[in-house]
Amino acid sequence: MSKLKFMDFCAGIGGGRLGLTSCGLKCVAYSEIDKSAEKTYNLLHTNNEKNYGDLTKIKVEELPNFDLLIGGFPCQTFSIVGQRKGFADERGMIIYSLVNILKEKNIPYFILENVKGLTNHDKGKTLKTIEELLTSNGYTLYYKVLNSIDFGVPQMRERIYFVGIKKDLIKKSFEWPKKKNCKNISNFLCDDKAQEMNLEDKTFVKYLNNKYNKGKHDMKDILSKDYNVLDTRQSDLRIYKGKVPTLRTGRHGILYTKNGKLYKLSGYEALLLQGFPKELADNVKGKVINSKLLSQAGNAMTVNVINAICNELLKCIEEWKNE
């Protein structure tokens, strides 16, 4: 089978891209409006394809030919973290621009990703609208909520994934990938430059003594075990063993224990938790501000999940061509 080509929309730092290239697909171009993310994207992926920028302003006829569209269309309008305005928010309209590209370019396949909150936004009406929009343009659509922790990385990250295949190409149903074992968290929380947390920090002490946490946590006991993960982004301290809560764009505050000390999760470690291999993460180490890298990683697709989905899609395509 000849190598399939794809274009990376709402690309961020290219987590989706990496999931596809690791399956042997070739990226021909991408679309990203955030200049900071574009800089990180080019540090991580060195082929220097053209960035077409704002996809709502793209002239479709100027795009290169490609076989698969991938896009993590903006989730702010559907997430439980946001105001959930959905289609009333212009960011929620990105899906229409993506569908227009699919239609005008007659793209055979697509993979889209969004937050789990999309499943029940507006009592399910938003998901129904997206489903009707995609199927009415000639695609058989599959969608499912998958958790990154089930695909090799110790991050509890639930996202809804859409796989679309042109109806005239369907000969056998697409099957979602099976779960895989998760690697030990020690492979991910390994940044020798991670910042140690000052246990006497006034803000941290005040947090531990607020009405939700006072008297509930013994820091000495917490520190006695490696890889206790502390989520301080809520009013109440949440502790996980050997796994990390969902990385997010705008809310940092994940800490972890190691060798009797408490460390702040670094942007480098966040990349690893999203499935970026160390050799690529090394390309940005010290070149992107830590807080910005944390945000960019929080906005990325998990490489492992896209890789698993793509592998199943490729199996289908191979089987259809052999029939």
Which residues are known to be catalytic? 75
CB 268 within 8 Å of CB 285: yes
Spatial distance between the Cα atoms of 144 and 118, rounded to a whole number of angstroms: 11
Tell me the DSSP string of 239-303.
Answer: EEES-EEPP-SS---EEEEETTEEEEPPHHHHHHHTT--HHHHHHHTTTS-HHHHHHHHHTSPPH
Please, is 185 exposed, middle or buried when counting C-beta atoms within 10 Å of its C-beta (0-12, 13-18, 19+)? Answer: buried
CB 243 within 8 Å of CB 219: no
166: tokens are 């042109």
Task: Compute the chain's Rg from CA coordinates.
Answer: 21
Please, is 234 exposed, middle or buried when counting C-beta atoms within 10 Å of its C-beta (0-12, 13-18, 19+)? Answer: exposed
